[in-house]
Amino acid sequence: MQTHDARHTAKSWTAPYLNLRTLLALGLVIHFGFGYLLTLSVDEAHYVMYAAIPAWSYFDHPPLVGWIQWPLVVLGAPDGIIRLIPQLLWLAACLLARKLAFNLYDRQAERVTQAGVGRETVGLWAVALVLLAPLMHVLAVGLLPDSVLMVLVLLLMQVTLSLTPTEHAANQCARPPARSAEWSKWLALGLLLGLAGLSKYTAVLPALAVIVTLLAGRGLRVLLTLGPWLAVLVALLLISPVLIWNAQNEWISFVYQLKHGSGGTWHARRLAAFAGIQLVAYGPLLVLGAYLATRQIIQNKQWQRAALLLFFFIPFLVTGLMSGGGGSLPHWTAPAWMAITPFAALALAQRWASGRKALILAFIRAQTVICLVAFVALFFVGVPGLSADHPLIRKNPLADLWGWDEAGLKARALARKHHLSSLSVRHWTLGSRLAWYARPLPVHVLDTRFDQFDLWFGQIPPGVDSLFVNWSQVKFDLPTKAGEFKECQLLDTFEAKRFGRQVSRFDYYHCRQWGPFPTAQ
């Protein structure tokens, strides 16, 4: 029979793991539920179409986000099953952030232990920071390139850290590990860089952080070894499909990204809005932890550790500058925030152990409320109890995640009934969901911009009829101007409802004889 002390020791030992399992299980249950409840978002549908129409690359993004969904799409998996992919990526990101927090802890264990901070506590803080960040839940339900890049950035940090000697060893001029023992690490670094390049073009930013960190830890002499060049070679081989595809398509992806990233005229107010959105999207607790960690590292002159912070600062500052021109979205910084999470976890654990808990508790409560309010709003698709004619309902951003599956099926049935061979919309954001839910019908976007829909379905042929779909939340004029359709006749409507309340309405028109004719070559 165990003694009281033995039972107490066992309970103390297992408690952190029980807490970890509770946090992770809570997140997974939430994500699984919403993964089945909500229809695909604009970007989700766009990227799952990558899997439905596989290619070496695509107009606006590299192919990895589509490739990893391809097996499930081929098997005809429902949306809820396909969404298991981002949920598993979220879980992997949590565990990797925890592991990296352990590594940071181990590298200064003596100092942190004296502050009364336990190793498992730091890991729990890392997971809790992810769980409390509202936007991280979006990436855990909807698969975006950033969902993949978050995991790859943490793995890149892990491998880069393993290739960098500790500051204590560097100060003693310790010899680097034997070359033979490093080959696997350099190979892993190349694989991760290549996969990052296949996930998003902005992967070049964490790649810069890798270079600076290795040079800070090992000096320029590292370039005289074969390891870095092996990593570069492997990375280039992995991204070669993107390069070949772009070479065959007039480098359209790179031209698009340069224009898309530069945005328009730069305004300081946009940068201020970016900062405010970031604060709400990722939470003041993570911002506080990032500040405390950065200040501590600079004060202690831990320059190798400061180099690792570049995995956050390079992409975050670049995205912030882009926001001034209107060329950024809140989720673009998610990999950067994930990169600084282990540092923030360590700093917050130390602050908590020192007894300064009031501000941390206030932020935890505030972020918990924000997440709960968001979950309730998602479940009810807006504010429960408001009538359909209320302004918040008429312009409800959450309506974007409801009813598209039924609307797509209805569009396909109407097209078949009236012998129409295609669907048409005014904007690609309306087309991606219809292309997925009404597949295999082609969807034509009736604008002058060349994009992925032109590569998939081509331009609408002159003289043909099409089923035009309008949506109440982003409604456009009927395409009956000069050079467009001759006429459009309303066929039917579909009202998307939640708990008996109308969320949005879809209008379906039979539009006849598309007007533009190709110009002579």
354 vs 123: CA distance, rounded Å: 18
Asked whether residue 56 falls in the same domain as residue 197, the answer is yes
Report DSSP state, residue 133: -
Q: What is the DSSP string of 455-477?
A: HHH-SPPTT--EEEEEETTB---
Of the candidate ranges 15-29, 58-72, 219-233, 437-451, the one whose mean pLDDT is the lowest: 15-29
Mean pLDDT of 402-406: 94
Mean pLDDT of 421-425: 95
- List, in sequence order, every residue forming a beta bridge with 508; answer none if it has no partner: 469, 492
Residue in the block written with tokens 């902005």 = 202
Say if 6 falls within a structural domain: no
Asked whether residue 314 falls in the same domain as residue 416, the answer is no
pLDDT, position 173: 46
Mean pLDDT of 213-226: 88
pLDDT, position 20: 86
Q: How far is CA 205 from the centre of its chain?
A: 15
Say if 391 falls within a structural domain: no
Share of the chain above pLDDT 70, in %: 88
Residue among 226, 227, 240, 145 nearest 188 (CA): 227
Mean pLDDT of 190-203: 96
pLDDT, position 16: 52
Domain count, the chain: 2
Say if 9 falls within a structural domain: no
pLDDT of residue 247 exceeding 80: yes
For 141-184, the pLDDT digits (tens) are 999 999 999 999 999 999 999 898 765 444 444 445 545 568 89
The residue segments making up the domain with residue 436 are: 397-512
Residue in the block written with tokens 């074969």 = 226
Task: Tally Cβ neighbours within 10 Å of residue 7.
Answer: 11
Environment class of 451 (CB within 10 Å of its CB; exposed 0-12, middle 13-18, buried 19+): middle
Say if 28 falls within a structural domain: yes
Say if 39 falls within a structural domain: yes
131 vs 98: CA distance, rounded Å: 12
pLDDT of residue 290 exceeding 90: yes
For 496-508, the pLDDT digits (tens) are 998 888 889 999 9
337 vs 211: CA distance, rounded Å: 19
pLDDT, position 9: 39
| Residues 285 and 348: beta-carbon distance below 8 Å | yes
Give me 108's structure tokens.
């200064």
Angle between helices 119-132 and 284-299 (to 10 degrees): 140
Asked whether residue 373 falls in the same domain as residue 401, the answer is no
Say if 65 falls within a structural domain: yes
pLDDT of residue 13 exceeding 70: no
Of the candidate ranges 201-205, 380-384, 424-428, 516-520, the one whose mean pLDDT is the lowest: 516-520
Helix, coil or strand: residue 505 = strand
Task: Tally Cβ neighbours within 10 Å of residue 89.
Answer: 22
Mean pLDDT of the chain: 87
More confident residue, 269 or 70: 70
∠ CA(233), CA(237), CA(241), 5° rounding? 155
Mean pLDDT of 111-133: 83
Asked whether residue 403 falls in the same domain as residue 352, the answer is no
pLDDT, position 322: 87
pLDDT, position 385: 66
pLDDT, position 112: 63
pLDDT, position 81: 96
Asked whether residue 370 falls in the same domain as residue 401, the answer is no
For 22-77, the pLDDT digits (tens) are 889 999 999 999 999 999 999 999 999 999 999 999 998 999 999 999 999 999 99
Asked whether residue 426 falls in the same domain as residue 367, the answer is no
Task: Tally Cβ neighbours within 10 Å of residue 219.
Answer: 11
Residue that finishes a domain, picked among 327, 342, 377: 377
Say if 220 falls within a structural domain: yes
Return the C-alpha torsion angle 496, 501, 504, 509, nearest 10.
60
- Buried (b) or exposed (e) across 285-315, using 16+ Cβ within 10 A? bbbbbbebbbebbeeeebebbbbbbbbbbbb
Asked whether residue 418 falls in the same domain as residue 325, the answer is no
pLDDT, position 259: 74
Residue that finishes a domain, picked among 325, 344, 377: 377
pLDDT, position 164: 86
Most confident among 221-225, 250-254, 415-419 (mean pLDDT): 415-419
pLDDT of residue 255 exceeding 90: no
Residue in the block written with tokens 């910084």 = 333
pLDDT of residue 11 exceeding 50: no
Report DSSP state, residue 356: -
Asked whether residue 452 falls in the same domain as residue 336, the answer is no
pLDDT, position 181: 62
Task: Tally Cβ neighbours within 10 Å of residue 250.
Answer: 9
pLDDT of residue 521 exceeding 70: no
341 vs 346: CA distance, rounded Å: 9
Residue in the block written with tokens 């908590």 = 352
Asked whether residue 329 falls in the same domain as residue 419, the answer is no
Asked whether residue 122 falls in the same domain as residue 242, the answer is yes
More confident residue, 3 or 124: 124
Asked whether residue 425 falls in the same domain as residue 360, the answer is no
pLDDT, position 241: 96
For residue 303, how many C-alpha atoms fall within 13 Å in the half-sphere facing its CB? 9
